[in-house]
Structures are given as C-alpha cells and as structure tokens.
Amino acid sequence: MQLHISTKDGMPIYVQIVNQVKYLVAAGRLAPGEEIPPIRTLAQQLVVNPNTVAKAYHELEREGVVTKRHGSGTYISDNGSPLARRERVKIITQRVDALLAEARHMDVPLKEILDLVRGRHDNLQSKEGK
Amino acid sequence: MNNDPAPIEIKNLSRRFGAKPALDDVSLTVPRGCVFGLVGENGAGKTTLIKHILGLLRAEQGSVRVFGLDPVANPPGVLSRLGYLSETRDLPGWMRVDELLRYTQAFYPNWDEGYAESLRKQFALESSAKIKHLSRGELAKAALLIALAYRPELLVLDEPSSGLDPVVRRDILEAIVRTVADEGRTVFFSSHLLDEIERVADRIAMIVNGRVVLDGALDDIREAHHYLTLRFPKPQDRAPLLSRALSVHGTGHEWAVLCNGGRQEVIAQAASLGAQVVEQRCPTLDEIFVARAARKQDAGKGAS
C-alpha cells in the first residue's frame, strides 16, 4: 500500500490517508480481505504521528471500508464493493468537473467534448482488440 | 495512571530579560503520550520556555511543573525522566563516540546498552570516530542517541533538525515517531519548520513575541481555520475590511482571506461589498502561522 502525504495543500493528514485508502480500494489496488499495515508500521513508513494513522483507521472502520479482526490486524472489508462503486463515481465526477471547467475556460463546447470522449473511447477499444 | 501529573504543566509563566518580555503569561499542558510541537519564529521565546522546563531558568512569575515536580527545586527527579536534545548539541569534542556513550551511561541507571548499540548502528555512527570530526548530521544523531538511550518518559527537543539535510531530518523524525509509537512516551519539540511539525505533532502551540497565540489539537486548529479567495467585479486599491479576517492579501480583483471561525460572516460581508467567493479550502499550517505572526506585528505598530 503506497500512500503519499503532502503538507502543502492544506488537507489534514488523516483525511489524506482516508481518501487515498478509499481511492486504492475503488481502483482495485486494495482487494477485499487484504490486510493493511499496522498503525505503527504505516506511521514509521510515512513519518507521521501514530495517533494520526489511528484516527484515519478509525474513520475508515466507521465508514465500513476496513474491518478490525480481533487480535490480528486491519483488513479491507469484504462488503467494500457498494462503497467502492460510490467512491468510483465520486472520483470520476471530480475528473469530469475539472474537464468541464477547463473546457469552459478554453471555449470548447460540450458537444465537442462528448465527441472527443467517444473518439478516445473507440481508440482505446480498438487498441485493446488488437 | 490517569491521576499521574501531566509530563509538562506550565501556568502563567512570564519572564523578562531587562526591559524585554521574553515570555508573557504562558500557560501550556502537555498530556502524556502526545507529540507536542512548539512553533515560533527565531527569538519568539521557544528556547527560553524549554530552559524553564529543564530547570535552567527559575520561573519569575507563574509555575513550571514536570511530572508534577519543580525542575529548579528537584533537578534529579526531573532530569532522570527527561531526555534533552539542545539546539547547540553541546558534546565534548575530544571524546570518541564509544567514550561518549560510556560517559553518559554513568549518569543514568536506566541506560539501555542494547538499545544504545542498535541506535548507533541505525544512525551509522562509528564507535571510534572522534566527536569533533563528526559531520553536522552525525553530531545531531549522536546527541539524539544519548537523549534516547535511557528511555526517558519525556523527550524534549530544541530545533532537532535545524541546519540538517533532508536525509538526516528524516532519520530524526523517524526516531521521534518510533519513540511514541513503541513506548507511548511524550515528546515536546520546538521547530520553525512547519512541515515537520505538521507531520509528527498531534498538539501544537504557536508562540509569537513570547505569547501563546494558538494552542490545541492540530486537526482542530486546522479545521477551525478557513482560506477563502474573493473576487471583486472591479479592481480594489486597498484590502477589503472584513472584521473576522486574520489576514487579507492580494491585488486587483482577487483577494485571499484567512479566518479562524466566522466563515459565514466573512462570506456575508464579502457579498455586501459585491465580492464572490471563488475558492475555499483548509489553510496549511504555514499560512496560519504567517497570518498570526503578521497580525501580531501590525498590532505592535498600532500601539507604538
């Protein structure tokens, strides 16, 4: 599990950990049932306060993304998929919003964007077909 | 266990050097098991405060208690439970690293030889190297090693990574993280590097001209502050007056506002001036600090 902590953009560190774990689950890079590192290990790896990691894990547990198993460790929840779907839509929505904002600045009309998306999609599919 | 006195408890501490107030009515509590970051510019009073904790300075007004003890009246009681890394790392240059370890060990019955040896290897310090031949980074690591090796309950670090390169800084921060992670010990450290405070501290106090201007859990402080960007329909010659803002800066159409609470008031006032909020986010600790420090200077100018 590779996370990247930044102190430049003003987002609290525990929120960064929560968001990135969710992202990794949504992207399929953390599978249901997979164990995530113990709090102390991750704290040392990221060089952040262990209490911050504990807070992030607590929040992830509260939201049902991870499950603590008694006396063993912390695992990605088996029922992570509905949340993963919601998260996936959320992530894509953010990307779409950024794309639309940029398109508006550059005076590119919506129809052109849609054509472009379709064109790129076809392009990708024909590549995968080969 | 919970009735044990806090590792550090400072009440209404004031100190003057001549006419200049160095500390002005400072009150702080450092709870057990936390990493407490003391933030401030050079000359703000951080080292003076630490000297009071170590019992090197007597409280002129107010009180200082370390584990419930007065560090001036009871130095052995306090210093045996406290590890200290000074900003100047005063180590005897003529000793070798192994001599330094043996020498320091003599003062501390709790010295853990195995731990000292593992830290020495981890910090890549040669036993036979002379202290005066160590690099700046090695010197810092040697000083940290002898502050950690008797496993003190409270670790006090004055600017632990000032003047060090990023690799050594990381080693030192890792040692801080490991100290609290493995053993639930308390760390109190001062720094003007907000990036490292933000990474490892869970509570902070911000000190400006000898006064504590902010004190609390880092996440609470961050979440209470807001950074807004306002856009005006016409360029503004001077900063808009917003009563709840800590700082306002910008030019022309766009002005950035930092506030502590009162976000709705700022938005309402901005709207009444015809401005629109075009961006909102959490400020970085750096931005909060700069806004607080600048505000204090302005207040000083107004009074004189």
Tell me the pLDDT tens digit for each residue of A40-84: 889 988 999 998 999 999 999 998 889 988 777 899 988 655 566
Residue A119 falls inside a structural domain: yes
Residue A42 belongs to domain spanning = 13-80
Residues in chain B: 304
Residue B290 belongs to domain spanning = 224-303
* Subunit contact B199:A47, Cβ cutoff 8 A: yes
In this predicted structure, what is the pLDDT of residue B298?
55
| DSSP three-state, residue B85 | strand
In this predicted structure, what is the pLDDT of residue B23?
93
Report whether B174 contacts A47 (CB < 8 A). Answer: yes
ipTM above 0.95, yes or no: no
* CATH code of the domain covering residue B44: 3.40.50.300
Copy the structure tokens of residue A118: 């379709």
Based on the domain organization, do A63 and A17 belong to the same domain? yes
Based on the domain organization, do A38 and A67 belong to the same domain? yes
A4-39: per-residue pLDDT in tens? 888 877 788 999 999 999 888 887 788 888 899 999
In this predicted structure, what is the pLDDT of residue A129?
67
Based on the domain organization, do A17 and A69 belong to the same domain? yes
CB burial of B269-279 (b: ≥16 within 10 Å; e: otherwise) equals bbeeeebeeee
Domains: count for chain A: 2
Q: What angle do CA B285, B291, B292 make, to 5 degrees?
A: 90
| DSSP three-state, residue B112 | coil
Residue A2 falls inside a structural domain: no
In this predicted structure, what is the pLDDT of residue B303?
36
Residue A20 falls inside a structural domain: yes
In this predicted structure, what is the pLDDT of residue A94?
84
Based on the domain organization, do A74 and A88 belong to the same domain? no
Cα gap B203→B220, rounded to integer Å:
9
Based on the domain organization, do B276 and B193 belong to the same domain? no
* CATH code of the domain covering residue A56: 1.10.10.10
Phi then psi for residue B162, to 5 deg, are -70, 130
Copy the structure tokens of residue B242: 């917003």
Based on the domain organization, do A40 and A55 belong to the same domain? yes
- Decide which of A128 and A80 is more confident: A128
Based on the domain organization, do A111 and A95 belong to the same domain? yes
Residue A6 falls inside a structural domain: no
Domains: count for chain B: 2
In this predicted structure, what is the pLDDT of residue A8?
79
Q: Which of A49, A104, A105 to mutate to test the interface with B (most CBs of B within 10 A)?
A: A49
* CATH code of the domain covering residue B267: 3.30.70
In this predicted structure, what is the pLDDT of residue B165?
87
* Subunit contact B219:A12, Cβ cutoff 8 A: yes
Write out the residues of chain B at the interface with chain A, using a CB-CB cutoff of 8 A.
34-35, 170, 173-174, 177-178, 180-182, 194-195, 198-202, 218-219, 222-223, 227, 281-285, 287
Cα gap A53→A15, rounded to integer Å:
10
Cα gap B249→B86, rounded to integer Å:
37
Tell me the pTM: 0.80
Based on the domain organization, do A118 and A71 belong to the same domain? no
In this predicted structure, what is the pLDDT of residue B300?
46
Q: How far is A7 from chain B (nearest CA, A)?
A: 6
Q: How far is B176 from chain A (nearest CA, A)?
A: 9
Based on the domain organization, do A67 and A115 belong to the same domain? no
In this predicted structure, what is the pLDDT of residue B103?
92
Copy the structure tokens of residue A40: 């102390």
Based on the domain organization, do B101 and B154 belong to the same domain? yes
Domain-terminating residue out of A80, A103, A120: A80
Phi then psi for residue B28, to 5 deg, are -150, 145
In this predicted structure, what is the pLDDT of residue B282?
84
Phi then psi for residue B252, to 5 deg, are 60, -120
Q: Which pLDDT tens digits describe chain B residue by residue (304 residues)?
A: 456 889 999 999 999 988 888 999 999 999 998 899 999 888 888 999 999 999 999 999 999 999 999 999 998 889 889 999 887 778 888 999 999 999 999 988 889 999 999 999 989 999 999 999 999 889 999 999 999 999 999 999 998 888 888 888 888 888 888 877 766 689 999 988 888 888 899 899 999 989 999 999 988 888 889 999 998 888 888 888 888 888 898 888 889 999 988 888 888 888 898 888 888 888 888 888 888 887 655 554 433 3
Q: How far is A102 from chain B (nearest CA, A)?
A: 15
Residue A3 falls inside a structural domain: no
Based on the domain organization, do B290 and B167 belong to the same domain? no
